[in-house]
Chains A and B, each alone.
Chain A
Amino acid sequence: MPGSNFIISREDWSLHRKGEMDRQRHREKVREAIKKNLADIVSEESIIMHDGRKIVKVPIRSLHEYHFRFDFGKQKHAGQGQGDSKQGDVIYSDPQQGQGKNKGAGEEPGVDYYEADITVDEIAEMIFEDLGLPNLEQKKKPEMASESLEFKDVRKKGISSNIDRKRTIMEAVKRSAVKGDTEPLVITPEDLRFKTWEITYKYESNAVVLAMMDTSGSMGPFEKYIARSFFFWMVRFLRTKYNNVHIVFLAHHTDAKETTEEEFFTKGASGGTRCSSVYKLALEVIEKRYSPSDYNIYAFHFSDGDNLASDNENCVQAINALLQVCNMVGYGEIEGPYYYTSTLRTAFKRVQNHKFTCVTIKDKSGVYPALKKFFAQPPGQASK
């Protein structure tokens, strides 16, 4: 008679990897999607302002499973109260723009967004994949090699202050599992694992970024955010290539001065613009503190291009002077909402040097192309 028989069984499922494999494939697709959206992600606020958290949430748009479906927001849905519901009761509220951004999923039905948890380093790696450091020059001074110790290896013998506790416990668990022990865990001498170091030689190399920005009245929070995103990635990128990356913030309107990072991105000043002032300050800083024979120098200046016309000639001269001492000099012009013909960019057309790059950025998504343009050539290859 059917239904009278039953079996209860346990199989070995350890080789069943399908779910994990498809999960892996999904993860790959997420990464592909992130790569396609790098232009948007590069200036994502949660990354630029990420205050040291390792993992950030990145909104991914292209990983939906599209099909014909109803507009969730225009549908009526059914729910169940505790017996006292009335017409007009609010069930829940959607987060409004700018607040409650990181609400847990699953609270509201049907909101089909996909957020990938990803470390800033992973994103950085993807961004930097296409970037190169052009114009690397052999510094006159021989590079200093320094010894450094790194804990890289695990061994069975070592000094007791270097016991790797996690691995030791794992060994003990493994051993007792193999034996089928149900007794409380005992750690035997064979279980002990020690961390061991290796000596590595590091080549000291230094770089300095001269972050220059126009803080005259016409540079608003948006313009500053763009500059901030750019410098964020620029510094991170240089850190992958150099041991030590200094960054110097130079702000200017008609006069230039060195500021803290905080002031640089937040404080505004009013008045006109004289860009040559900041170039001159940069030259001074280089002369006093960062000898080109010791440092790789990267200078980048952001402005809206609205420079005092009589100053343009000085600027071109100053840029040429900077090019003598810097690995690269860049000028980024942020096009604001107002229409005007930039005087500075036109003037810079006369600067003919492969170390000089001029970019314009219109909106947030322009940061990534600007980075790509600035760090375009593969290392060692001179530009045309």
Chain B
Amino acid sequence: MNPKEETRLLEQALGEITARAKEYGLDFYDMYFEICPADIIYTFGAYGMPTRFSHWTFGKSYHKMKTQYDYNLGRIYEMVINSNPCYAFLLEGNTLIQNKLVMAHVLGHCDFFKNNAYFKNTSRDMVESMAVAAERFRNYGFKYGHPRVESFIDAVIAIQEHVEPRVRVKKKKYKDQHQKNNCRAAIPETPYDDLWLLDEKPEYDCDNCQQSKRFPEEPEKDLMLFMIQHSKELEDWQRDIMSVVRHEMLYFWPQMETKIMNEGWATYWHLRIMREIELDEAEALEFAKMHSGIIQTSRARLNPYHLGLKIFEDIEKRWDNPSQEERERLGRPGGEGRDKIFEVRAEENDISFLRNYLTKELIDELDLYLFKKTGYDWKISDKEWEKVRDGIVSSLTNCGYPFVLVQDGDFNKRGELYLKHNYEGTELDVNYLEKTLPHVYTLWGRPSHLETVLDNKPVLFSYNGEKVSKKFL
């Protein structure tokens, strides 16, 4: 089939799919589909975005993904970007039916991007801003030397996940403290409030506030922002790189924290939409094959497509046909399944989604378990449903990254950086930790420390510019 004819058929199919999706109540942006060759799709997959800056780590993951594709071990059918209009990339060589499924799936993602609360503050023109930043980075390379820029980016991405995605949440505790102490710091409500105070002497007179010489005042989760604001080591171009990487992380964060829901939602809808579309026998078979590939489960990991789909279907079922008890005690009239799942997709993220809707029955039905390493073997350790649910939830906390706080930016009164890992029962990878601290040092310019727990004892790792040392506290 020649490309023109193929495009015509695709457009026809897309018209039909879009109409069905709208009937179902999906709400998405205008769509821009682009058909790309494999190496381009895999490039986008590796970078997360077609226009992102250039770095060898992306080359590494591109190489990995491309090799898998070349050896027929894995295949990305599509790639969709949270933007308005919504960009989606289809793999050249997909069959028509594969592309139909993919387009239906993509509409599900786009509806999710547009309507889920966690995406409210994501920038919808990231494609453009990433392109602009990439160009700036390239110019920094010419100006300051490519090796220098590259190794600086190495250091930045070593701590890139330490951001605070809940930027909108005010630090209430800190303010309350000042208010209680009647301190000026608490008064300004708008940027103009100080107009009323022009005649008055500023009074930073509360003992508590005067004594509070802690820096930062409150432990700070956003290590990236803290570095950008307070590191004395950084030049302007370096601050720019850090701040770009931070913004890109904040942009990707909601996608990481809704992976199960987002994939489940898209899978739920491609299934529903495709059922409505006329398929001949061969197409139906191909569709079934592809769909079952997508929801294939694994003994060693969770499949977000499958898990998310099952939870959404279960919610729909339970709100459509509530039990007697649910009708009486929770006042569920029944028949609200569809409305309920739309509400869930708007309000939850993976953690609350699993905590609220991964029920005992579902865990038993799906045969979920936790496993851990004993000797050389990885054995099932927990089957009890609450433990399994909580285990999964805790592995998703902070998108699976250790929770690290800036405890002190002037440790020992020598401008040293003191980080603290919030230990919750899982130890850090010591080898990685010892290799990451030097990167922190590069950015901070002064000795850097990280407190964590090993063998139930608090321990402090330090890097002084020459070597890493470790001492139990």
Residues of A within 8 A of B (CB): 2-11, 13, 16, 18-27, 29, 63-94, 96, 106, 108-109
Is A66 within 8 A of B34, CB to CB?
no
Contacts of B366 in A (CB 8 A): 80
Is B40 within 8 A of A13, CB to CB?
yes
Expressed in whole angstroms, the minimum distance between the Cβ of B30 and any Cβ of chain A is 4
With contacts A73-B373, A74-B426, A90-B377 taken as known, whether A3 is within 8 angstroms of B300 at the C-beta atoms is no
Expressed in whole angstroms, the minimum distance between the Cβ of B341 and any Cβ of chain A is 19
Contacts of B369 in A (CB 8 A): 78-81, 85, 87
Interface residues of B in 421-437 (CB under 8 A from A): 421, 426-430, 432-433, 435-436
Ordered nearest first, which 6 A-B pairs have the shortest CB separation?
Answer: A22-B59, A19-B43, A26-B59, A81-B367, A23-B59, A66-B435
Nearest to B380 among chain A residues (CB) is A89
With contacts A65-B57, A69-B401 taken as known, whether A79 is within 8 angstroms of B395 at the C-beta atoms is no
The stretch of B157-165, B175-183, B270-278, B324-332 that contacts the partner chain? B157-165
Contacts of A87 in B (CB 8 A): 369, 380-383
Contacts of B391 in A (CB 8 A): 76, 78
Contacts of B430 in A (CB 8 A): 71
Contacts of A109 in B (CB 8 A): 300-301
Is B371 within 8 A of A77, CB to CB?
yes
Query: Which of the residues B30, B157, B160 comes within 8 Å of A2, measured between beta carbons?
Result: B30
Contacts of A23 in B (CB 8 A): 59-60, 62-63, 66
Is A19 within 8 A of B33, CB to CB?
no
Contact with A along B24-36 (1 / 0, CB 8 A): 0001111111111
Expressed in whole angstroms, the minimum distance between the Cβ of A86 and any Cβ of chain B is 7
Asked if B201 is at the interface of the complex by the 8 Å CB criterion, the answer is no
Asked if B297 is at the interface of the complex by the 8 Å CB criterion, the answer is yes
A334-B95 Cα distance, complex, nearest whole Å: 64
24 chain-A/chain-B pairs, Cβ below 8 angstroms: A2-B28, A3-B29, A7-B31, A8-B34, A10-B7, A10-B34, A22-B59, A24-B59, A27-B59, A65-B60, A65-B158, A66-B435, A68-B421, A71-B429, A74-B372, A76-B370, A77-B300, A77-B370, A77-B371, A79-B370, A85-B380, A92-B377, A93-B376, A109-B301
Nearest to B60 among chain A residues (CB) is A26
Is A3 within 8 A of B28, CB to CB?
yes
Interface residues of B in 157-211 (CB under 8 A from A): 157-162
Contacts of B55 in A (CB 8 A): 22
What count of chain B residues pass the 8 Å CB interface test? 90
Query: Which of the residues B62, B162, B368 comes within 8 Å of A80, measured between beta carbons?
Result: B368
Most buried by B among A66, A74, A91: A66
Is A88 within 8 A of B59, CB to CB?
no
Nearest to B436 among chain A residues (CB) is A66
Contacts across chains A and B counted by CB atoms under 8 Å:
237
Is B31 within 8 A of A5, CB to CB?
yes
Is A16 within 8 A of B43, CB to CB?
yes
Asked if B142 is at the interface of the complex by the 8 Å CB criterion, the answer is no
Interface residues of chain B: helix, strand, loop or mixed (majority): mixed
A73-B298 Cα distance, complex, nearest whole Å: 19
Contacts of B66 in A (CB 8 A): 19, 23
With contacts A68-B402, A69-B401, A81-B299 taken as known, whether A29 is within 8 angstroms of B371 at the C-beta atoms is no
Is A71 within 8 A of B299, CB to CB?
no
Interface residues of B in 57-74 (CB under 8 A from A): 57-60, 62-63, 66, 68, 73
Most buried by B among A63, A72, A88: A88
Expressed in whole angstroms, the minimum distance between the Cβ of B233 and any Cβ of chain A is 19
Expressed in whole angstroms, the minimum distance between the Cβ of B23 and any Cβ of chain A is 12
Contacts of B162 in A (CB 8 A): 68
Contacts of A82 in B (CB 8 A): 367
A11-B379 Cα distance, complex, nearest whole Å: 50
With contacts A77-B370, A79-B369, A85-B369 taken as known, whether A69 is within 8 angstroms of B300 at the C-beta atoms is no
Is A86 within 8 A of B33, CB to CB?
no
Asked if B80 is at the interface of the complex by the 8 Å CB criterion, the answer is no
Is B429 within 8 A of A69, CB to CB?
yes
Is A88 within 8 A of B302, CB to CB?
no
| Given A8-B10, A22-B55, 15 further pairs, Cβ under 8 A | A3-B31, A7-B33, A8-B7, A8-B11, A9-B34, A21-B59, A64-B435, A65-B60, A65-B157, A66-B432, A68-B436, A79-B298, A79-B368, A87-B383, A91-B371
Contacts of A86 in B (CB 8 A): 380, 383
Asked if B37 is at the interface of the complex by the 8 Å CB criterion, the answer is yes
Contacts of A88 in B (CB 8 A): 379-380
With contacts A22-B56, A66-B435 taken as known, whether A80 is within 8 angstroms of B10 at the C-beta atoms is no
With contacts A19-B46, A23-B59, A79-B300 taken as known, whether A85 is within 8 angstroms of B29 at the C-beta atoms is no
Contact with A along B351-376 (1 / 0, CB 8 A): 00000000000000011111111001
Query: Which of the residues A27, A63, A89 comes within 8 Å of B379, measured between beta carbons?
Result: A89
Contacts of A7 in B (CB 8 A): 31-33
Is B378 within 8 A of A94, CB to CB?
yes
Query: Which of the residues B31, B58, B380, B395 comes within 8 Å of A22, measured between beta carbons?
Result: B58
Asked if B292 is at the interface of the complex by the 8 Å CB criterion, the answer is no
A374-B373 Cα distance, complex, nearest whole Å: 47
Asked if B245 is at the interface of the complex by the 8 Å CB criterion, the answer is no
Is A84 within 8 A of B367, CB to CB?
yes
Is B402 within 8 A of A76, CB to CB?
no
Is A70 within 8 A of B368, CB to CB?
no
Asked if B39 is at the interface of the complex by the 8 Å CB criterion, the answer is yes
Is A92 within 8 A of B30, CB to CB?
no
Asked if B404 is at the interface of the complex by the 8 Å CB criterion, the answer is yes
Interface residues of B in 290-340 (CB under 8 A from A): 297-303, 306-307
Contacts of A65 in B (CB 8 A): 57, 60, 157-158
